[in-house]
Each structure stands twice: as C-alpha cells, then as structure tokens.
Chain A
Amino acid sequence: MDNEIVLDESVIAEDQQTVVFRLAGESYGIEIFRVNEIIRLREITPVPRTEPHVRGLVNLRGKTIPVIDLRSRFSLPTAEETDSSRIIVVDSESGQIGVVVDAVTEVLTLQGEQIDKTPALVSDPDNQFVRAVAKTNDRLITLLDLDFALAA
C-alpha cells in the first residue's frame, strides 16, 4: 500500500505501450492500459439528436455502448468503411466507449526519449487532443489525450 504508484502528468513515463491506429493517413496512439478490446466494425444504431460525432450504439456482448467517430470529432473528411476499419473499446469516465478508426496497425513500446511533448504543438487550441508526439524511425505518432477527445 505504501509504495503507491504516482502518476505525474507532466512527466511521460519511460516506456509506454501504445496502441497505434490510422486515421486519414496519419498515425495516432492511445495508451494500452486505456484500451479494453478492439472489435470489428459492426452494425451501429444511430441515436437521434446527439452530437454529430456520436455514431450511435453497438451491442458488445449484451451491453450497449456508445460509439464515436474520431474522423468527425477531429473534423476530418468522412471516409468509406473498409475491411480494416475497427472499433477500439476504451474506458472512460462515463463507462465503456467505442472509437471508430480506419485501422489498428500495431502495439508499440515507446521509449521516453522518443516522446516529445512539443509545447508549440500542445498549446495550439486546434490540437488540444494532442498529449505528445512520438518519433519512430519512419514516422510521427500523435499521442492522444483520450479524455479530451471523448469529452462531449
């Protein structure tokens, strides 16, 4: 009990496992501990009179969970759903929420030095969803502030 793990938001923990997904040609990452499961796209029942980015409800083994469209949330152009489209089920303050992405590519272990909490980028009001940016050999991965992205 004594050695409780203290999470300090200002310091990005050294090694992080991150689920990397693609959205409109770019790579984004979510901490793996927030991810419950990844499911194939399935029938989504629209809920009328909700925010446009709320796609609706899906049946997750007898539970109904809301699904949001990250493209619409990030004001990206809508795209056709493909075979690689997935719903990432994450934990949030208001229970489980599904997030529709173009594709889930991999799970990466990011080292501390790869992560850059670029102030210029993070403070940009248009990019409030961005928590940090990770550089890998061949590309940049935008690490999302999930709570912000899911806030209604």
Chain B
Amino acid sequence: MSAELDMSQYTDLFLQEGEEQIEILEQELLKLESDPSDERMQIIFRAAHTLKGSSRAMGFSHFAELTHEMENVLDQLRNHTIAVTTHIANSLLACVDTLAGMMDSIRSGEGDTAECGELVKCLQEILSGQGIGGGLAVASEVTSGTGSGLPFPTQVSEDLHDALEAAKDAGAVYHVQFRLADDCVMKFVRAFMAVSIAQEAGEILVCCPDQEALEEEQFDQDFELVFTSETEFGELKAKFDGIGEVEAYEFGIWGDLKDAPVMDKPKLEVIASDEVLSAQPVAAALTAAQSANSGTARKGDSGQTVRVDVARLDNLMNLVGELVIDRTRIAQIGADLALRYTDRQVDDLGETVSHIARITSDLQDQIMKARMLPIETVFNRFPRVVRDLAQKLNKEIKLDLIGGETELDRSVIEVIGDPLLHILRNSVDHGVEMPDEREQVGKPRSGTVTVSAKHQENHIVIEIRDDGKGINTERVKQKAVEAGLVTADAAAKLSDKEALQFIFHSGLSTAAEVSEVSGRGVGMDIVRSNIQKLGGLIDLESVVGEGTRFSLRLPLTLAIIRGLLVNVAETVFVLPLGSVVETLLIDNKEIQHINQKEVVVIRGVTTPLVRMREVFGIQGDYKTPDSFYVVIVGLAEQRMGLIVDRLVGEQEVVIKSLSRFCGDVPGVSGATILGDGNVALIADINGIVKNDRG
C-alpha cells in the first residue's frame, strides 16, 4: 500500500514539473520562430530533456519516446544542422499539444495512452531531411558545431581544454567513456560505481552528463568521466571491468582517446555545453556562463518559494472567512456593551476588538495575496492561439500582451481564461482584416491585437483591443431586426452604443459566413453571462475602420465582496457593491409608468424600477409608503432601480454557496453570515435584471 502511495506522490510531482516544462516548451517554441537564439534553443532543449528523463523514470514510455524524438530534432536545431522552419515549429508545437494531452490522461489515471506514432514519424522525417518540404534549409556552416562525431572532445571549450592540459602536466589525466547495456536496469547505480572508482583514485575533472543528471538517470546509455589519478592504469582498468551491465567502455589517457574511433556509433548525450563542465576545479572559468544561462531558465526559481496545495490555501481562506464573521460579531457585541455599561473593562474590550479587527484584515490580505496569481498564467495561452489562428486565416497578426504581472485571485484566473480567449478569437477572426485589405486602406499589413490588464481600485480591468475594421453598427441593427430582437423602427432610433449591445445577444453574428473559428452567434452571450456570474462587467467600443475594444472589469476575488445590506420584508439581502451605482430616496409621485412597468427619471435618464418584494415573491401586509429607497444597480450600460424597504449599511461579506439542497434560486447567488450571526442572502443582480425582462 505504501509503495502505491509513493508512486502516486511521484506522479503528482511528475505532473507538476511536467506541466511547467511543457509550458516553457510552448512559450519558447513560439518565440523561436522570430528569435532563434542559441540561448533560447538551450532552454527548449533542456525542457525537452527534463521531460524525457522524468517520464522515463516514471515509466511512461510513449511520453519518453516522443520527447526523445523531439530532443533529437532540437539537438540538430541547436547544432545548426537544420534551421527552424514553420513546418518544424508546427510539428514541435503539435508534439507539445500531444504531451499536454498525455499529461491529462496520466492525471486521470489512464497513463500516457495518446497515439504519437504519426508525430514520431514526422520528427524522424525532419531529421532525415525529408518533410521539411520546399522550405528545406540547411544552416550555413558558420558555427563550428557539427552534428556528428564525438561530442565531448569537440565540444570542449578552449578554457576547459587549457585547464585539462594544465592538469595533464601535473599528473596523469584519464578519460573513460561508458556505454551501458540496453537493458541496464539501474543505470544510475552503474554510473555511480564508475564515479566512485574515479573519485577514490583521484579527482574528477569532467563528468558528462553532470553527476546530478547521472543520479537522476537523465542520460541514455552513455556517460564519460575525465579524472586525475596517481593510480596505475591497470589497477583502474580492473576496477572498471568490475562494473556490470556495460555494453562497452573505453579507458585511456585523456587526449589519446579523442582520436580513437571508440564506439561504433558514438553519440554522447550532452545536456548543454556549459553543463558538461560542471566538474568543480576546471569549471571555475565557466561558472559565469552557467549562471548567465540559469538566469534565463525560469523566474520562479529566484527567491525562496514553497509549493502549497491549493486545497490548503482554500481551507485557510475559509477559516479566515469565519474569523472575519466572528470579528464583526465581537465588534458588534462590544459596541452593544459599550452602550449599556461604562466600565474600564468594556473599554479594554473595545481596544482589543479593534486590534483583532486590524490583525484579521491583515491576515485576510496576506492570505488573499497568497492565492493571487499573475494573469500571465492566462495570457500565456494566447500567443499560441493567435499564431495558429492567424496562420489558418492567412492573416498577419502581432499580439501585444501588457500587464501580465497583474495579480488576481486563483478563483478568478480559473474562470476568465475561456471568455478572454473567445473575445481574442473574435478579434483575430472578425476584427483584423486580411493583409491586402489592410494595405488598401493604408494600414500596416500586420494587424495588432493588444491584451492588457491593470488594477483599478478593487478590480482588475482587462482590455482586448484590435486595430481592425471595427463593428458596423448598421449591420448589427439589420441583423437584430432580422433575428426579431427589435423592430426596424426601434432599431433606427438606437444609438451606436446601444446597437453594439446586440453583440452580446445569442443568435446574432455579424460574420457574413460561419467559419470554423467563430460566427455561429453563440459565444458572446455566453461570454457576457460568464463575466456577469463573476460579478464583472463587460463593455465594448468600436469605431468603424479603426478597431474594436472590449473591456472587462472583474473583482479581484470571488471569496469576499463588499456589499450593500438592504432590508426587504424583515430579511436582509446583500447587493454586491460592485454593481451598485447609487442609492436614492424617491417620492411616490416620481414613479411613472411605461408599458405598465414602473420607471423613474433620474437626471434625465429613464430607469426601470423593480420591487425586490415582487422579485422574491414575498407576500405580507405592506402599506405603500410615500417614499422609497431605490438602489440603482448597473450592468454594463444598463441601469435599473431596485426598490427596497430600508438601507442597512455597507459591509465586507464572505460568500458561501447556497446548499445544493436549495438548488439554483433565481435572483440569489449565494449566502453569507452577518455580524449578528444570522444568514443573509446575496442578490444576483444579473438574475434579477434578466428576470425583469422575462
């Protein structure tokens, strides 16, 4: 049982690391086309290599096979034997997708089942020089690196060579190359034996791959060592002979060996030229290069971080939520006591309560921060999507991502990816014109789509802007009339801004033809309802010929909101403050009727009114007062007045879900516990507005 547990622990680790590596692969591959620097190649290669090593260790053979082939291609790219072409980039990206798919099936316990024969074949064709198609491009021989031959001696940098030569002067420098047997079960044990022998005999100068990689079995079959030793050649040879499961090995004085055709097909696995040199004494000269490289590896490595299970953070958040409730409650009790008694102890209580209040808000802040993720995690998916889409549509598109470091709560991050992606696809598909079309109107051939994120008070504002053709409001109106959403007369009176709102209506698409990408008219309505479910707002502006801009305003967290407490028939409801525009006291006489619906004119704007009592079907004797409290709520451009009995106050509330037992209650999005310990319902403004429209 414990063995099984251990394995699953490793699987989790593998999945976690694997996902990071896959993300690195995708990110860097995307940048590779425009910037095929050696440094970038190195990062990509390393990611593929790590994936291969760890999948092999876990026994995911398909996964390992695919990464192995990728590695081969990457190796050739790195050595400039072949150059990066779109075909190669596409193939590699397809591999990344397959790997991600395998990760999913591994997570669901099915193992690495995905079919990757096609891809492997494709990669092998690239390697053999076919399949690159017309774009076959062999890199010029500017770089000295060759894809064949013994990598080790040829890849020794001059510094290292000098250092080794120097060591040679001081004493015997031996060089041993091993090729382990195909079926070698515990490679690292064999490698370890060899390393120990060398270590006992003297000092290891070069270990390739480095010792860490050897320990983690991150090598195929081959490894080699260069070491100094006073020990006799014969004695050492006898020791090396004793290592089992070795297919072949060569042992000799360093320098003599490099010219000898050691093995039938010598193909050492070199991790990275700087890693070859991780041996301590000689490598000193190269630490600079190494540190430069590791700096580019990953941001997350810097600083001290701890991985924490998300469930634990959620739990912590819940506990803090309860603490917040109790804090409010104690504060209320304290205030009540202070009214009743004048006593030093009551004063002390008051002080302590306010201190607790401060600490709890700090605690809450900190835990909120711990749950924050940069929106980058969502943005990172975009370049790939835009690239693929642009390629498919034959468009030229430049994607600008701004403010990726903006942080927001995990719960929000999880749900905004898809809506954003949908808007982005729309911009690429419908917004940006074909390159020729753009040239004709005097725009640069390549369109620009900008996605930006920034904080604004307690919200995050995300904008998706394109410099495309904009939305033709006349066309939207026409479509809306055709779809029967509005009469022709009414449509003619609509302002552009109002007309644009039809974009969010289901069954309306302005794309002349339904494409694979979009234009089915489902989508924008779902996007809007998803955003609204989060308590966010979505808005768009568009200028024909200049472009379209979507802006989303989202709360930073879904766990705690500021709410306006109102009283309706002795029950307290919480209205999310994000949706509240203003509160008014309105005289009975000000209410007018349009189509038997109550409206009120506020500063010249006709605002529909909704009685909360009616929304929630609350009966009971209720004499119509002379004046009403009206809470004006806003959803995007729409305004609506909610008639409530009384305003109670403003408070931070922790959102609790309604029990499954109650199911979906229209107009109610959740519940919370107030300072007095009672439960209050959180009103779902979106649901109420929808309900009113019937």
Contact = CB atoms under 8 A, between A and B. Distances in A.
Interface of A: 43, 45-50, 54, 56-59, 61-66, 92, 94-97, 150, 152
B662 A54 contact: yes
19 contacts: A43-B679, A45-B671, A45-B679, A47-B658, A48-B616, A48-B618, A49-B617, A49-B667, A57-B662, A57-B671, A62-B322, A62-B326, A63-B656, A64-B658, A64-B659, A64-B679, A66-B661, A96-B659, A152-B661
B325 A62 contact: yes
Interface in B665-693: 665-668, 671-673, 677-681
A65 B660 CA distance: 10
A66 B659 contact: yes
Given A58-B679, A62-B325, A66-B659, A47 B668 contact: yes
Contacts of B321: 62
Contacts of B325: 62
Interface string B58-94: 0000000000000000000000000000000000000
A97 B659 contact: yes
Given A45-B681, A46-B571, A57-B671, 17 more contacts: A43-B679, A45-B678, A47-B665, A48-B616, A50-B665, A54-B662, A57-B658, A57-B662, A57-B681, A62-B325, A62-B673, A63-B656, A94-B661, A95-B661, A96-B659, A97-B661, A150-B661
Nearest to A92: B661
Best-surrounded residue of B660, B661, B662 (most CB of chain A within 10 A): B661
A45 B662 contact: no
Contacts of B442: none
A49 B678 contact: no
Nearest to A97: B661
Nearest to A62: B322
Best-surrounded residue of A49, A65, A95, A96 (most CB of chain B within 10 A): A49
Contacts of A45: 571-572, 671, 678-681
A43 B668 contact: no
A48 B679 contact: no
A43 B572 CA distance: 12
A97 B662 CA distance: 10
Best-surrounded residue of A43, A64, A66 (most CB of chain B within 10 A): A64
Given A46-B571, A49-B616, A49-B617, A64 B671 contact: yes
A59 B660 CA distance: 16
A61 B47 CA distance: 49
Given A62-B325, A62-B673, A94 B660 contact: yes
Nearest to B666: A49
B663 interface: yes
B656 A64 contact: yes
A49 B664 CA distance: 10
- The B interface is mostly helix, strand or loop, or mixed, namely mixed
A96 B661 CA distance: 9
Contacts of A94: 659-661
Contacts of B658: 47, 57, 64, 66
B679 A50 contact: no
A48 B665 contact: yes
Nearest to A58: B679
A150 B656 CA distance: 22
B679 A57 contact: yes
B588 to A, nearest CB: 25
Contacts of B656: 63-64
Interface in B299-341: 321-322, 325-326
A95 B677 contact: no
B660 to A, nearest CB: 4
Contacts of B673: 59, 62, 64
Interface of B: 321-322, 325-326, 571-572, 615-618, 656, 658-663, 665-668, 671-673, 677-681
A94 B659 CA distance: 7
Contacts of B672: 64
Contacts of A46: 571
A62 B571 CA distance: 19
A90 to B, nearest CB: 11
Contact of B681 (A47, A54, A63, A95): A47
In the A-B complex, the 10 residue pairs with the smallest Cβ-Cβ separation, listed nearest first, are A48-B616, A94-B660, A62-B322, A45-B679, A57-B679, A94-B661, A66-B659, A66-B661, A64-B671, A64-B656
Contacts of B677: 43, 59
Contacts of B679: 43, 45, 56-59, 64
Contact of A152 (B663, B665, B667): B663
Contacts of A57: 658-659, 662, 671, 679, 681
A61 B656 CA distance: 13
Best-surrounded residue of A59, A92, A96, A150 (most CB of chain B within 10 A): A59
A59 B618 contact: no
A65 B671 CA distance: 10
A61 B665 CA distance: 23
A95 B617 contact: no
A48 B661 contact: no
Contacts of A49: 616-617, 665-667
B678 A59 contact: yes
A47 B661 contact: no
A49 B691 CA distance: 13
Contacts of B617: 48-49
A34 to B, nearest CB: 15
A66 B571 contact: no
A49 B671 CA distance: 15
A50 to B, nearest CB: 6
A65 B659 contact: yes
Contacts of A66: 658-659, 661-662
A65 B672 CA distance: 11
Nearest to A94: B660
Contacts of B668: 47-48
A65 B673 CA distance: 11
A21 B662 CA distance: 25
A55 to B, nearest CB: 11
A54 to B, nearest CB: 7
Contacts of B322: 61-62
A58 to B, nearest CB: 6
Best-surrounded residue of A45, A66, A94, A150 (most CB of chain B within 10 A): A45
A58 B677 CA distance: 9
Contacts of B661: 54, 66, 92, 94-95, 97, 150, 152
B659 to A, nearest CB: 4
B136 to A, nearest CB: 63
Given A62-B322, A64-B673, A47 B680 contact: no
A66 B660 CA distance: 9
B680 to A, nearest CB: 7
A101 B31 CA distance: 67
B660 A47 contact: no
Contacts of B666: 49
B188 to A, nearest CB: 36
A65 B677 CA distance: 13
A50 B617 CA distance: 10
Best-surrounded residue of A46, A48, A49, A150 (most CB of chain B within 10 A): A48
Contacts of A50: 662-663, 665
Contacts of B326: 62
B667 A48 contact: yes
A97 B677 CA distance: 18
B519 to A, nearest CB: 37
Contacts of B678: 43, 45, 59
Contacts of A97: 659, 661
Contacts of A43: 677-679
A63 B616 CA distance: 23
